[in-house]
Structure 1
C-alpha cells in the first residue's frame, strides 16, 4: 500500500453548509452533487484502510492581516466578514468531523501548500500519494493537484467529492485536472491500494 494522505479541503461551513455564506453557490452544488455524503463515505473508507486524513481550511485573523487587499477572492472575505479562523464559518462541516490524530492545515491562500504545514507533514510521514477532494474544484483542488504534481507526488482526485460554484465550473476544472492527476469516483477508489 502506498503511503497516502487524504486531503479534505475547504469543506468549511461558510462554503458547504446549507446555512453558510455561500449557500446560493457552493451550497447548492454541494447538495445537488451529494458531496458531503460522498466525502463522509470516502473518509470512512480511508480510516478503515489506515490512510491519514488532513483537513485544509482557508481563513484569516479577525483583522484580516494575512488577506491581500488586491485579491479578487480574498478581498471579498474581508468585505463580508467571513473566513475568520475560530468561528463557525471556518470549522469543518459536522458531517466530515475531524478526529484525534487528523491533521489541521490552515492556509491563507488558494493553494494548500503555500505558507502551510502541508509539506513538512508530507515529508515527516513519508507520503507518496495525495488523494484530494474539496471546494472548489477550480480553486483548492486544482492548486493542490498541480502543486502536488510538481513536487512529485502521485495525485488522485475524488471527482464526486468536489464542487464548483456552478456545475460548468466543476466540469471545466475536472477536464483540466486530468493532466496532473488521476480522476476517479470515490466509490471506485481503493484506499488500501
Structure 2
C-alpha cells in the first residue's frame, strides 16, 4: 500500500487496518512512518545517517543495529560517542584530523595495526597515545637526528643498511654506549 499524495497512509486517513510492508522509506521531511503515523514497523539495516548527521535511533527512537563499517561523521566524532550506539569500529582505524586516535579520544577499544607512522611532531603513537603497537623496521631518524629508541624508549631493532645522518655520523657512532646494538660496519 502506498502513501497518498499528502504523505498520509490509508490507515491514518481512512481507518483501514492494513500492514505496511518494509522496506519502508523515510519521507521527505526525514520522519519515519513509525514516528509520524503510529505504524509499528521494523526498519531494517543498513540505515543511513540523515542529512543532519543524526541517527534514526537517536532522533526517532527506532531501535536498530547500525552495522560496521561505521564511518566518522562530518565533525570527526564517532557514532558510538555522539549517539550512544554500541558498534564495533573495525581496524584499520585512521587518525582524525587533529592527529588523535579514536581509542584515546572516544574510548573505543580498537587495535591499531602496524605499520604505524610517526605524527607531525616526531612522536610515536605508542608513546603519545598509549597504544600498544609494534613499530616495524626500517625506522627512520626523526628531524632532530635522534633515534626512536633514544628519545621515546621504544625497544626496536634498527636494521641495516643503516644510513648516515646529516652530520655524517653513523647510528652506531652516535649511540655507541650499548643503547642501540647494531653491527654496522664502516666501509
Could you tell me the TM-score, scaled by structure 1's length? 0.26
**Greater relative contact order, per chain length (Cα 8 Å cut-off, separation 6+):** 1
Say which one has the larger Rg.
Answer: 2
Please identify which structure carries the higher helix content: 1
